[in-house]
Amino acid sequence: MFKILVSDPMAEAGLAILRRGAATDLRVGLPADELRRVLPDYDALIVRSETKVTAEILAAGARLRVVTRAGVGTDNIDVAAATERGVLVLNTPGPNTIAAAEHALALTLALLRHIPRADASLRAGRWERKAFVGRELHRKTLGILGLGRIGREVAIRARAFGAELLVYDPFVPPAAAEAVGARALPLDDVLARADIVTLHLPLLPETRGLLGARELARMKPGAYLVNCARGGIVDEDALADALHGGQLAGAALDVFAQEPLTASPLFDLPNTVLTPHLAASSEEAQLGVGIVAAESTLAALRGELVENAVNLPGLAPGALAALHPWLDLAGQLGQLLAATLDGPARELEIGFQGDSAAINSALVGAAALRGFLAAAVGEQVTLITARVVAERRGLAVGERFVRGGRDAAPPAPGLRVAAAAPAGAADGHEHTVAGALDEAGRGRIVAIDGFPVALDAGGRLLLVAHRDQPGRIGAVGTLLGQRGINIAAMQVGRSRVRGDAVMIVTLDDPLPRPVLEEMRAITGLSHAHYVDLGAPPPNGAASEPRDEE
């Protein structure tokens, strides 16, 4: 049974799901050394933002397969170190989007209308109406930095308040801004024009300190700043100075560079509204996050591919079912190609033909690479580690997209995987395999080394390169028959009559190594290779033992 450690608070509904599928321990607030001490027992770790999953913590997780962030931001997890170790990192985007968007607007309104201070004043026995005259969101310009899930929901709601919307997000097309009634502008323009700037982007090396003294000085005098995204994006000392000096009228923050925050120059300023990282803390959001975190962690441990994986190429929601046959086929083509090489490869090229958008080239490419590496180097490789392992082994991996010419009809979707051997190697040729899905969605091998074939992708395959001459096919068949190996099907591809040819024999029985050696001794055969594609690599990235290199 799997063992899961939950080291930050989690909704009871999520814990109940986990307990049905795994031995689950909830241990909140573990110091880092205690976490390191207990982690070797666990297959998965589930955290919110409090637990810092550093490279040292990950190194202690001898059997750790999955780290799940019950929430969006993974900046408290060393994702690169997890990837290097083959640990799948999941998050749960979606269930807390509305909570975060509503909190950003709640802070905005609280700030504009002085609600916390008015409340405190009234409780202190005062009735001060003049001191707390506020401002409206209506007809103000709201600058949204980061137009992702939360930024969009903020935009939709702010529109209902009658705000004008500006957006800065270099990674979304201007049409995405227009779709929510906003105008996309460069950062400095948004800062210069907005009455209120609200942040909804991730903390990354590029966004750390994005709003420092220079950018705060660029903001419209008397503007407001709201940060419900991540501490560290705003320089808090520079913000305190801008508020103190009157450049900004106010700021509302839910997130801080240091959490928990116990002291800050912002505490002494009247024009701030501060909450302790509460944006996602609605009952609804935590229920949703807990359920998604629990279900996806268990699915990943069972070896299923999940959509909310952070260190796997992104998957659109619902795209998985259509992708599975491509992943299987890519893995089989990779395996098949590796089996046809007589030495190590220097380069691998994964070619996508036709509408590769439907294929998810990054993930399917990783599956082809995994199949290729797993067979060729006998090392445990996962979809997560495939590119890292290839790089470590000096294998250059390229991708090529063929969409068809301007006048030609686009080719049917397909995959071509080609490997080139190092210059000067005995087998210095390029070898290729190509495949596609049939109408029923089954994987088919359609070419080997440029020879057209029509084979189901799977089963035990004997591949023989030979000269097209009488007697060759018979010699192979006779040897197999003498050794009690049953032939299920056979196909022959040739360049021309009596030219180079390949023979692909599908076998019912495994081909022992000594029989393969006997086959190689048959005159007129240049190569004979055997591969068992019957058990394609499973799609689940986390189901396999990790690369312990």
User: Exactly one of 259, 349, 399, 518 is catalytic; which is it?
Assistant: 259
CB of 48 to ligand MLT, least distance (A): 4
Residue 168 interacting with ligand NAD (CB under 6 A): yes
Q: Answer whether 330's CB lies under 8 Å from 336's CB.
A: no
CB of 34 to ligand MLT, least distance (A): 22
Give catalytic status of residue 103 as yes or no.
no
Give catalytic status of residue 259 as yes or no.
yes
Closest CB to ligand MLT among residues 246, 276: 276
Footprint on residues 253-292 left by ligand MLT (CB under 6 A):
277, 280
Out of ligand MLT, ligand NAD, none, what residue 151 binds, judged by CB under 5 to 8 A for its kind, is ligand NAD
Helix boundaries (H) for 8-146: 12-21, 32-38, 55-60, 79-84, 97-112, 115-123
CB of 280 to ligand MLT, least distance (A): 3
Residue 202 interacting with ligand NAD (CB under 6 A): yes
Footprint on residues 351-390 left by ligand NAD (CB under 6 A):
none
Element (H, E) at 150: helix 149-160
Out of ligand NAD, ligand MLT, none, what residue 387 binds, judged by CB under 5 to 8 A for its kind, is none
Residue 431 interacting with ligand MLT (CB under 6 A): no
Give catalytic status of residue 548 as yes or no.
no
Residue 71 interacting with ligand MLT (CB under 6 A): yes
Per-residue b or e along 431-460, where b marks 16 or more CB atoms closer than 10 Å to that residue's CB: bbbbbbbeeeeebbbbbbbebebebbbbbb
**Backbone torsions φ then ψ of 92, nearest 5 degrees:** -130, 65
Residue 72 interacting with ligand MLT (CB under 6 A): yes
User: Exactly one of 103, 152, 200, 277 is catalytic; which is it?
Assistant: 277
Out of ligand MLT, ligand NAD, none, what residue 169 binds, judged by CB under 5 to 8 A for its kind, is ligand NAD
Element (H, E) at 283: helix 283-301
Closest CB to ligand MLT among residues 121, 281: 281
Q: Return the range that interacts with ligand MLT (CB under 6 A); candidates 66-74, 152-160, 219-227, 257-265.
A: 66-74
Closest CB to ligand NAD among residues 76, 340: 76
Residue 332 interacting with ligand MLT (CB under 6 A): no
Alpha-carbon distance 199 to 233, whole Å? 9
Residue 48 interacting with ligand NAD (CB under 6 A): no
CB of 81 to ligand MLT, least distance (A): 19
Alpha-carbon distance 416 to 434, whole Å? 4
CB of 107 to ligand MLT, least distance (A): 15
Helix axes 12-21, 283-301, angle to 10 degrees: 20
Number of residues that bind ligand NAD (CB under 6 A): 32
Q: Which of 91, 27, 101, 87 is nearest to 55 (CA)?
A: 87
Residue linked to tokens 């925050």: 261
Residue 308 interacting with ligand MLT (CB under 6 A): no
**Backbone torsions φ then ψ of 326, nearest 5 degrees:** -70, -40
Element (H, E) at 176: helix 174-179
Q: Which of 342, 358, 341, 359 is nearest to 350 (CA)?
A: 359
SS3 304: coil
Q: Which of 224, 225, 141 is nearest to 182 (CA)?
A: 141
Residue 255 interacting with ligand NAD (CB under 6 A): yes
Closest CB to ligand NAD among residues 169, 449: 169
Q: Which of 415, 354, 356, 309 is nearest to 93 (CA)?
A: 309
Residue 200 interacting with ligand MLT (CB under 6 A): no
User: Exactly one of 48, 114, 152, 230 is catalytic; which is it?
Assistant: 230
Here's the x/- map for ligand NAD, 227-246, by CB under 6 A: it reads as -xxx----------------
Alpha-carbon distance 276 to 255, whole Å? 7
Element (H, E) at 198: strand 196-199
CB of 356 to ligand MLT, least distance (A): 32
* End-to-end C-alpha distance for the chain, whole angstroms: 26
Residue 9 interacting with ligand MLT (CB under 6 A): no
Q: Answer whether 416's CB lies under 8 Å from 432's CB.
A: yes
Closest CB to ligand MLT among residues 73, 325: 73
Alpha-carbon distance 76 to 96, whole Å? 18
Residue 279 interacting with ligand NAD (CB under 6 A): yes
- 489 beta partners: 506
Here's the x/- map for ligand NAD, 144-163, by CB under 6 A: it reads as -xxxxxxx------------
Q: Answer whether 348's CB lies under 8 Å from 432's CB.
A: no
Write out the two tokens for 484. Answer: 């009690």
Residues in contact with ligand NAD by CB under 6 A are 72-73, 93, 96-97, 100, 145-151, 168-172, 200-203, 206-207, 228-230, 254-255, 277, 279-280
Catalytically annotated residues = 230, 259, 277
Residues in contact with ligand MLT by CB under 6 A are 48-49, 71-73, 96, 277, 280
